[in-house]
Structure 1
Amino acid sequence: MDSATKEPWHLWVVGIVTLLWNGFGANDYTQTQLRNMDYLNFMGYPQAGIDYLDQFPAWAEAGWALGVWGAVMGSVLLLLRSRFAIWSFVISLIGIALTTVYEAGADMPAELAEMQPGWFPVLLWGLATFQLWYAWSMKKKGVLR
Protein backbone atom coordinates (compact mmCIF):
# COMPACT_ATOMS: atom_id res chain seq x y z
CA MET A 1 0.00 0.00 0.00
CA ASP A 2 1.36 3.39 -0.95
CA SER A 3 2.03 5.64 2.05
CA ALA A 4 -0.16 8.30 0.41
CA THR A 5 -3.09 5.85 0.27
CA LYS A 6 -5.74 6.49 2.89
CA GLU A 7 -6.07 3.85 5.56
CA PRO A 8 -9.36 1.90 5.71
CA TRP A 9 -12.18 3.50 7.68
CA HIS A 10 -12.37 0.51 10.03
CA LEU A 11 -8.80 1.17 11.24
CA TRP A 12 -10.11 4.29 12.95
CA VAL A 13 -13.13 2.49 14.39
CA VAL A 14 -11.07 -0.40 15.73
CA GLY A 15 -8.28 1.90 16.94
CA ILE A 16 -10.58 4.28 18.82
CA VAL A 17 -12.87 1.60 20.28
CA THR A 18 -9.91 -0.48 21.48
CA LEU A 19 -8.18 2.60 22.87
CA LEU A 20 -11.30 3.40 24.91
CA TRP A 21 -11.57 -0.22 26.10
CA ASN A 22 -7.87 -0.46 26.92
CA GLY A 23 -7.96 2.99 28.52
CA PHE A 24 -10.58 1.75 30.96
CA GLY A 25 -8.27 -1.14 31.86
CA ALA A 26 -5.35 1.27 32.28
CA ASN A 27 -7.44 3.47 34.57
CA ASP A 28 -8.48 0.47 36.64
CA TYR A 29 -4.87 -0.69 36.90
CA THR A 30 -3.64 2.78 37.87
CA GLN A 31 -6.38 3.40 40.43
CA THR A 32 -5.87 0.02 42.10
CA GLN A 33 -2.08 0.40 42.14
CA LEU A 34 -2.43 3.82 43.76
CA ARG A 35 -5.04 2.34 46.13
CA ASN A 36 -7.41 5.20 45.35
CA MET A 37 -10.06 4.38 47.93
CA ASP A 38 -12.68 6.59 46.29
CA TYR A 39 -12.30 4.57 43.09
CA LEU A 40 -12.13 1.21 44.86
CA ASN A 41 -15.25 2.02 46.87
CA PHE A 42 -17.05 3.26 43.74
CA MET A 43 -16.17 0.00 41.96
CA GLY A 44 -17.36 -1.97 44.97
CA TYR A 45 -14.03 -3.55 45.95
CA PRO A 46 -14.48 -5.30 49.30
CA GLN A 47 -11.65 -5.12 51.82
CA ALA A 48 -10.89 -8.78 51.10
CA GLY A 49 -10.40 -7.80 47.45
CA ILE A 50 -7.96 -5.05 48.38
CA ASP A 51 -6.07 -7.50 50.59
CA TYR A 52 -5.98 -9.93 47.65
CA LEU A 53 -4.48 -7.23 45.42
CA ASP A 54 -1.85 -6.51 48.08
CA GLN A 55 -0.74 -10.15 47.93
CA PHE A 56 0.00 -10.19 44.18
CA PRO A 57 3.61 -11.34 43.64
CA ALA A 58 5.82 -9.07 41.54
CA TRP A 59 5.61 -11.31 38.47
CA ALA A 60 1.79 -11.18 38.51
CA GLU A 61 1.87 -7.39 38.97
CA ALA A 62 4.28 -7.20 36.02
CA GLY A 63 1.92 -9.36 33.97
CA TRP A 64 -1.01 -7.09 34.77
CA ALA A 65 1.04 -4.03 33.80
CA LEU A 66 2.23 -5.61 30.55
CA GLY A 67 -1.30 -6.66 29.68
CA VAL A 68 -2.77 -3.22 30.25
CA TRP A 69 -0.05 -0.94 28.95
CA GLY A 70 0.85 -3.19 26.02
CA ALA A 71 -2.77 -2.99 24.88
CA VAL A 72 -2.97 0.79 25.29
CA MET A 73 0.27 1.26 23.37
CA GLY A 74 -0.92 -1.18 20.73
CA SER A 75 -4.08 0.84 20.14
CA VAL A 76 -2.12 4.08 19.90
CA LEU A 77 0.38 2.51 17.50
CA LEU A 78 -2.45 1.09 15.43
CA LEU A 79 -3.92 4.58 15.05
CA LEU A 80 -0.45 5.81 14.06
CA ARG A 81 -0.28 2.97 11.49
CA SER A 82 2.88 1.59 13.07
CA ARG A 83 3.89 -2.04 12.58
CA PHE A 84 5.00 -2.03 16.21
CA ALA A 85 1.33 -2.30 17.19
CA ILE A 86 1.71 -6.03 16.57
CA TRP A 87 4.50 -6.34 19.15
CA SER A 88 2.57 -4.27 21.68
CA PHE A 89 -0.40 -6.60 21.37
CA VAL A 90 1.91 -9.63 21.70
CA ILE A 91 3.31 -8.12 24.92
CA SER A 92 -0.22 -7.51 26.13
CA LEU A 93 -1.17 -11.15 25.54
CA ILE A 94 1.93 -12.32 27.41
CA GLY A 95 0.91 -10.09 30.31
CA ILE A 96 -2.65 -11.43 30.27
CA ALA A 97 -1.26 -14.97 30.27
CA LEU A 98 0.89 -14.25 33.34
CA THR A 99 -2.04 -12.73 35.20
CA THR A 100 -4.32 -15.60 34.19
CA VAL A 101 -1.80 -18.16 35.45
CA TYR A 102 -1.58 -16.38 38.80
CA GLU A 103 -5.33 -15.98 39.19
CA ALA A 104 -5.92 -19.63 38.28
CA GLY A 105 -3.79 -20.74 41.23
CA ALA A 106 -4.62 -17.95 43.67
CA ASP A 107 -7.25 -18.12 46.36
CA MET A 108 -9.45 -15.24 45.21
CA PRO A 109 -11.91 -14.10 47.87
CA ALA A 110 -15.51 -15.00 47.05
CA GLU A 111 -16.59 -11.35 47.37
CA LEU A 112 -14.13 -10.37 44.64
CA ALA A 113 -14.90 -13.34 42.43
CA GLU A 114 -18.58 -12.39 42.53
CA MET A 115 -17.75 -8.94 41.10
CA GLN A 116 -16.38 -10.39 37.86
CA PRO A 117 -18.83 -12.24 35.64
CA GLY A 118 -17.68 -15.66 34.46
CA TRP A 119 -17.68 -14.53 30.83
CA PHE A 120 -15.28 -11.63 31.45
CA PRO A 121 -12.02 -13.61 30.99
CA VAL A 122 -13.39 -14.98 27.71
CA LEU A 123 -14.17 -11.43 26.57
CA LEU A 124 -10.74 -10.20 27.68
CA TRP A 125 -8.87 -12.97 25.85
CA GLY A 126 -11.12 -12.66 22.82
CA LEU A 127 -10.60 -8.91 22.46
CA ALA A 128 -6.86 -9.16 23.07
CA THR A 129 -6.55 -11.88 20.44
CA PHE A 130 -8.70 -9.88 18.02
CA GLN A 131 -6.47 -6.83 18.46
CA LEU A 132 -3.36 -8.85 17.61
CA TRP A 133 -5.05 -10.48 14.62
CA TYR A 134 -6.33 -7.14 13.36
CA ALA A 135 -2.92 -5.47 13.62
CA TRP A 136 -1.29 -8.44 11.92
CA SER A 137 -3.85 -8.35 9.08
CA MET A 138 -3.35 -4.59 8.64
CA LYS A 139 0.42 -5.14 8.45
CA LYS A 140 -0.06 -7.91 5.91
CA LYS A 141 -2.24 -5.58 3.78
CA GLY A 142 0.41 -2.88 3.94
CA VAL A 143 -1.61 -0.47 6.08
CA LEU A 144 0.91 -0.49 8.94
CA ARG A 145 4.38 0.86 8.19
Structure 2
Amino acid sequence: MLNNQDNVKTPWHLYIVAVVGVLWNSGGGFDYYMTQTKSADYMAQFTPAQLEFFYAMPTFIVCCWAIAVWGGVLGCLLLLLQKKWAAPVLLLSWICMTITAVRNYVFSNGMEVIGDPISLAFTATIFIIAGLLAWYAHSLNKAGVLS
Protein backbone atom coordinates (compact mmCIF):
# COMPACT_ATOMS: atom_id res chain seq x y z
CA MET A 1 0.00 0.00 0.00
CA LEU A 2 1.34 3.43 -0.92
CA ASN A 3 0.90 6.46 1.28
CA ASN A 4 0.55 10.06 0.16
CA GLN A 5 4.20 11.09 0.50
CA ASP A 6 6.41 10.51 -2.54
CA ASN A 7 4.90 7.08 -3.17
CA VAL A 8 6.56 5.60 -0.06
CA LYS A 9 5.26 2.12 0.57
CA THR A 10 3.57 1.59 3.93
CA PRO A 11 5.19 -1.35 5.71
CA TRP A 12 2.83 -4.23 6.47
CA HIS A 13 3.93 -4.28 10.12
CA LEU A 14 2.67 -0.74 10.75
CA TYR A 15 -0.90 -2.01 11.04
CA ILE A 16 0.03 -4.85 13.38
CA VAL A 17 2.12 -2.60 15.62
CA ALA A 18 -0.55 0.11 15.68
CA VAL A 19 -3.46 -2.24 16.48
CA VAL A 20 -1.50 -4.13 19.14
CA GLY A 21 -0.37 -0.75 20.51
CA VAL A 22 -3.95 0.51 20.75
CA LEU A 23 -5.00 -2.68 22.56
CA TRP A 24 -1.98 -2.59 24.89
CA ASN A 25 -2.47 1.07 25.78
CA SER A 26 -6.22 0.54 26.20
CA GLY A 27 -5.35 -1.85 29.03
CA GLY A 28 -3.51 1.03 30.67
CA GLY A 29 -6.50 3.26 30.01
CA PHE A 30 -8.77 0.74 31.72
CA ASP A 31 -6.45 0.62 34.75
CA TYR A 32 -6.29 4.42 34.90
CA TYR A 33 -10.06 4.82 34.61
CA MET A 34 -10.86 2.16 37.20
CA THR A 35 -8.31 3.58 39.63
CA GLN A 36 -9.41 7.19 39.20
CA THR A 37 -13.10 6.32 39.56
CA LYS A 38 -12.21 4.15 42.58
CA SER A 39 -14.20 1.19 41.27
CA ALA A 40 -14.79 -0.99 44.33
CA ASP A 41 -14.58 -4.28 42.43
CA TYR A 42 -11.35 -3.29 40.70
CA MET A 43 -9.71 -1.73 43.73
CA ALA A 44 -10.46 -4.81 45.87
CA GLN A 45 -7.33 -6.45 44.41
CA PHE A 46 -5.07 -3.95 46.20
CA THR A 47 -3.91 -3.79 49.81
CA PRO A 48 -4.95 -0.88 52.06
CA ALA A 49 -1.39 0.51 51.80
CA GLN A 50 -1.55 0.37 48.00
CA LEU A 51 -4.93 2.10 47.96
CA GLU A 52 -3.58 4.84 50.19
CA PHE A 53 -0.59 5.21 47.86
CA PHE A 54 -2.79 5.49 44.74
CA TYR A 55 -5.25 7.91 46.31
CA ALA A 56 -2.50 10.17 47.69
CA MET A 57 -0.74 10.71 44.34
CA PRO A 58 -0.07 14.38 43.68
CA THR A 59 -2.20 15.94 40.96
CA PHE A 60 0.89 16.49 38.79
CA ILE A 61 1.63 12.75 38.81
CA VAL A 62 -1.99 11.82 38.12
CA CYS A 63 -1.83 14.21 35.13
CA CYS A 64 1.43 12.61 33.92
CA TRP A 65 -0.16 9.18 34.30
CA ALA A 66 -3.19 10.32 32.28
CA ILE A 67 -1.00 11.78 29.52
CA ALA A 68 1.11 8.60 29.47
CA VAL A 69 -1.92 6.32 29.14
CA TRP A 70 -4.19 8.31 26.86
CA GLY A 71 -1.24 9.64 24.87
CA GLY A 72 -0.30 6.02 24.18
CA VAL A 73 -3.79 5.26 22.92
CA LEU A 74 -3.94 8.43 20.81
CA GLY A 75 -0.42 7.96 19.48
CA CYS A 76 -1.17 4.42 18.32
CA LEU A 77 -4.42 5.55 16.71
CA LEU A 78 -2.47 8.27 14.89
CA LEU A 79 0.07 5.64 13.87
CA LEU A 80 -2.74 3.49 12.49
CA LEU A 81 -3.91 6.51 10.49
CA GLN A 82 -0.30 7.10 9.37
CA LYS A 83 -0.16 10.59 10.83
CA LYS A 84 3.19 12.19 11.66
CA TRP A 85 1.84 13.44 14.99
CA ALA A 86 2.07 9.84 16.22
CA ALA A 87 5.80 10.30 16.89
CA PRO A 88 5.68 13.32 19.24
CA VAL A 89 2.52 12.05 20.96
CA LEU A 90 4.12 8.67 21.67
CA LEU A 91 7.32 10.39 22.82
CA LEU A 92 5.32 12.56 25.23
CA SER A 93 3.52 9.43 26.46
CA TRP A 94 6.88 7.74 27.14
CA ILE A 95 8.26 10.83 28.92
CA CYS A 96 5.18 11.08 31.15
CA MET A 97 5.32 7.35 31.88
CA THR A 98 8.96 7.77 32.90
CA ILE A 99 8.15 10.71 35.18
CA THR A 100 5.34 8.74 36.82
CA ALA A 101 7.48 5.63 37.35
CA VAL A 102 10.47 7.56 38.70
CA ARG A 103 8.27 9.43 41.14
CA ASN A 104 6.45 6.27 42.22
CA TYR A 105 9.52 4.09 42.69
CA VAL A 106 12.32 6.54 43.51
CA PHE A 107 10.85 9.66 45.11
CA SER A 108 8.08 8.08 47.18
CA ASN A 109 7.44 4.84 49.03
CA GLY A 110 6.18 3.03 45.93
CA MET A 111 9.01 0.52 46.04
CA GLU A 112 7.94 -0.46 49.55
CA VAL A 113 4.20 -0.46 48.80
CA ILE A 114 4.05 -1.92 45.26
CA GLY A 115 7.66 -2.89 44.62
CA ASP A 116 7.24 -6.65 44.31
CA PRO A 117 9.23 -8.28 41.48
CA ILE A 118 6.15 -8.79 39.26
CA SER A 119 5.07 -5.14 39.54
CA LEU A 120 8.61 -3.94 38.85
CA ALA A 121 8.91 -6.23 35.82
CA PHE A 122 5.55 -5.04 34.52
CA THR A 123 6.56 -1.39 34.96
CA ALA A 124 9.82 -2.10 33.11
CA THR A 125 7.83 -3.78 30.33
CA ILE A 126 5.54 -0.75 30.03
CA PHE A 127 8.59 1.52 29.90
CA ILE A 128 10.25 -0.56 27.17
CA ILE A 129 7.10 -0.89 25.05
CA ALA A 130 6.32 2.84 25.31
CA GLY A 131 9.89 3.66 24.29
CA LEU A 132 9.80 1.21 21.38
CA LEU A 133 6.50 2.63 20.13
CA ALA A 134 7.93 6.17 20.24
CA TRP A 135 11.07 5.01 18.40
CA TYR A 136 9.02 3.09 15.83
CA ALA A 137 6.81 6.09 15.05
CA HIS A 138 9.86 8.36 14.84
CA SER A 139 11.55 5.93 12.43
CA LEU A 140 8.48 5.76 10.20
CA ASN A 141 8.23 9.54 10.28
CA LYS A 142 11.88 9.91 9.20
CA ALA A 143 11.33 7.35 6.42
CA GLY A 144 8.45 9.43 5.06
CA VAL A 145 5.78 6.83 5.81
CA LEU A 146 3.76 9.16 8.04
CA SER A 147 2.15 12.32 6.69
Q: Indicate the percent of aligned positions where both proteins have the same amino acid.
A: 31
For residues 104-142 of structure 1, the C-alpha deviation after alignment (integer angstroms, 9 at most, x for no partner) is 111137453338433222211111110011101111121
Counterparts of 1:86 and 1:55, CA distance in 2:
32
C-alpha deviation, 1:5, in angstroms: 5.9
Residue of structure 2 equivalent to 1:90: 91
Residue of structure 1 equivalent to 2:127: 125
Q: How does 1:1-145 map to 2 (within 5 A)?
A: 2-3=3-4, 7-41=10-44, 44-103=45-104, 104-108=106-110, 110=112, 112-114=114-116, 116-145=118-147
Q: Which 5+ residue runs of structure 1 have no aligned equivalent?
A: none
Q: Which 5+ residue runs of structure 2 have no aligned equivalent?
A: none
Counterparts of 2:3 and 2:28, CA distance in 1:
34
Counterparts of 1:22 and 1:87, CA distance in 2:
16
**2:119 aligns to what SS in structure 1?**
coil
C-alpha deviation, 1:57, in angstroms: 0.6
Q: How many residues align?
A: 143
Normalised to the residue count of structure 1, the TM-score between the two structures is 0.89
C-alpha deviation, 1:97, in angstroms: 2.1
RMSD: 1.9
Counterparts of 2:8 and 2:139, CA distance in 1:
17
For residues 39-75 of structure 1, the C-alpha deviation after alignment (integer angstroms, 9 at most, x for no partner) is 222xx21222111111101111111111111111100
Which stretch shows the higher mean deviation, 5-14 or 61-70?
5-14
Normalised to the residue count of structure 2, the TM-score between the two structures is 0.88
C-alpha deviation, 1:32, in angstroms: 0.2
